[in-house]
Structure 1
Amino acid sequence: MNVTLVVPVYNEQLNLNTFIDEFNRHYSKFSELNYNFDIQFVDDGSKDNTAAIIEALANKYVYVRAILFSRNFGKESALFAGLEHASGDLIIPMDVDLQDPFEVVFEMLKKYEEGADVVLAKRIDRGTDTYLKRRSAEMFYKVNNKMSSLKLENNVGDFRLMTRQVVNEILRLKESQLFMKGLMSWVGFDTVVVTYVRPARNEGDTKFNFFKLWNLAIQGITSFSTLPLKIWTYFGGITAFISFLYGLKIIIEKLFFGINVSGYASLMVAVLFFGGVQLIGIGVIGEYLGRTYLETKQRPKYIIKKSINENQRAG
């Protein structure tokens, strides 16, 4: 049974050799279980020496394969590319910073042998993350699972085991605006969860800042739910109904009782409130329209500058 580890990287020169050393430390144990492993690196247009280090590792180790992007296309595209080029019967995406421990892979393989098609690795302790990141992640899962019919398992990232059949179904999905957690969950199949405590990052800093995480969350929600559009439809209808009643009240007062001049402040509050509501509504519509516009362009998800050892299979 061949297993491919899909490892997207971006400016990870400090972690690559340590990752390979840790893999080699477990390699004999994997072989004892009759699994052949290879590693599919995807360099997402790194600006440091990441590409050069990957090439050196590929020349040294037969199980290392890689594709190098022409520029930075983002982790979602890098992960999709890794799945497209993975040769294994089982595929496991994981990070290079050793926050996804190899020990968990053994638990995943055990669950697969028991009949699972997908094995999710769930973090039960996010103590290594900042308070803001923990709270924002918690809020994202709550909001997404309430707004979308697609329910995501809390505190599960890309680290998971998938069979070849599962990956093939994911690759059939044609959208270019990718939210991989959603796509990998959308295809379904028999899914189980293993839990682990996520260690601290080995070297360097995470490449995801708050702005990138915010955009990813928006992309996730808009990719699998139209509820934000419906909310503004309902809100607009309620607001219009209230405005109609208020207008009717003014007409009646004008015809039968006369109207005393109202204050300037109340008028401005009403104008600014409804103007703000309209702009927010237009912004929500714009998010969906913008993603539809990008999808219609049908641009490739990524461009490969160079492939390394791509003709070699797991072994």
Structure 2
Amino acid sequence: MTHSHGTQHAGPVTLSLVVPVFNEEDSLDGFLLRIRQVFEREAQISLELVFVNDGSTDSTLERLLHCQQSNSTIRIVDLSRNFGKEAALSAGLQIATGQIVVPIDVDLQDPPEVILQMIERWREGYEVVLGHRISRRNDSWAKQTSASWFYRLHNKIAEQTLPENVGDFRLMDRCVVDALLTLPESRRFMKGLFAWVGFRTTQVEYERPERAAGQSKFNGWRLWNFALEGITSFSTEPLRIWTYLGALVSLVSFAFAMFIVVRTLIHGVDMPGYASLMVAVTFLGGLQLIGIGVLGEYLGRTYIEAKRRPVFLVRRIYESKD
């Protein structure tokens, strides 16, 4: 990418790592050890760790509180229940106080060492530095294929394109975080919101290792719903597609009706086929139901947004006593 002409940054900087956690008791010690190894010699970086406990049912919160006793950089945001990763991420961004903010997962698939490269690019004047995965070889074939199709479809029909093979792992300047916090929607597709706000952007590339501990919380069904959320959040194209499809089906049915009229005038009336009638009825019925489903998806979003419920509820924020 071309060199940025933005404000260049030198000297000390405050960095907030936003870490959403849900049943991650096995991953915390390894993550904190790695963070300490990366940042303990960085005298110019003042670190803040914002852990967002997203309604964990194991001992994640107790483990965090224990770690906080010996680590004054840790702040813990305990949500009242499990609101999902997008909401937990929003909570972390709201609480984080750093001059630059980096969302990162606790499973170490996003190597903390990459953050140092991101900070170098930020010092050059960029306001957003994306973490770009060189490959997805540690993902299953199904996950790789579905991700590729999702990006291709989303970027074809949405006004705002998403950078491929880029997750939530990125560095954001304070001005970017403040802009994100002004967005009022309660159904939040964070990848789309990150892309929508814009700002001067570059990327650093890294190889994504396997998960250090624990299990991924995203199964096939959740990933499907996540993709649906992304497409309906940033595009009304599916509604337009059904308008065109409806017009096409009407045109075909009108042409078929003309054919029947002409054939009847020439050959007389014959007994209509039950099988072809059932195929036509079920095909058109299925088409209508899918169209109603697409319409319902958007209507449901409008209904939920109209309630103006908060994205998350905080039960308590645990600050370090140091």
Q: TM-score, normalised by structure 1?
A: 0.95
Letter of the structure 1 residue corresponding to residue 54 of structure 2: D
CA distance in 1 between partners of 2:259 and 2:145 (Å): 46
Q: Does 1:178 align with 2:188?
A: yes
Q: Distance in 2 between matches of 1:98 and 1:221?
A: 28
2:72–2:320 contact (8 Å) kept in structure 1: no
Query: After the TM superposition, which residues 42-53 of structure 1 pair with which residues of structure 2 at under 5 Å, given as runs?
Result: 42-53=52-63
Q: CA RMSD in A?
A: 1.4
Rounded Cα–Cα distance in structure 2 between residues aligned with 1:30 and 1:239: 64
Is 1:12 equivalent to 2:12 in the alignment?
Answer: no
Moved more, 113-122 or 123-132: 123-132
Return 303-312 or 42-51, whichever deviates more: 303-312
Q: Summarize deviations over 1:178-227 as a string: whole Å, max 9, x none.
A: 10000011000010011100011011110111111111100000000000
Question: Alpha-carbon deviations, 1:22-80, whole Å to 9, x = none?
Answer: 1111122322xx11111000000000000111111222211000100111000000001
Q: Which moves more between the two structures, 229-238 or 54-63? A: 54-63
Greater alpha carbon shift after TM alignment, 20-29 vs 63-72: 20-29
Gaps of 5+ in 1: none
Matches within 5 A, 1:18-37: 18-31=30-43, 34-37=44-47
Taking the aligned partners of 1:255 and 1:40, their CA distance within structure 2 comes to: 78
Q: Which amino acid aligns with 1:174?
A: P
Match of 1:239 in 2: 249
CA distance in 1, matches of 2:277, 2:147: 40
Task: Kindly state the Cα deviation for residue 254 of structure 1 after the two structures are TM-superposed.
Answer: 3.8
Could you tell me the percent identity over the aligned residues?
47
One-letter amino acid of the counterpart of residue 115, structure 2: V
Count of residue correspondences: 310
1:94 aligns with 2:125: no
Task: Measure how far apart 1:310 and its partner are.
Answer: 7.5
Task: List per-residue Cα deviations over 1:157-192 (Å, max 9, x = no partner).
Answer: 000000000011011000000100000110000100
Please report how far the alpha carbon of residue 144 of structure 1 lies from its aligned counterpart in structure 2 after TM superposition. 0.5
Q: For 1:128 and 1:241, locate their aligned partners in 2 and report how far apart those are by CA, in whole Å.
A: 48
Mapped to 1, the partners of 2:65 and 2:309 lie a distance apart of 28
Distance 1:245 1:80 in 2: 53
What letter matches 1:143 in structure 2? L
How far the C-alpha of 1:256 sits from its partner, in A, is: 5.4
Amino acid at match of 2:103: P
Structure 1 residue aligned with 2:113: 103
| Unpaired runs of at least 5, structure 2 | 1-12
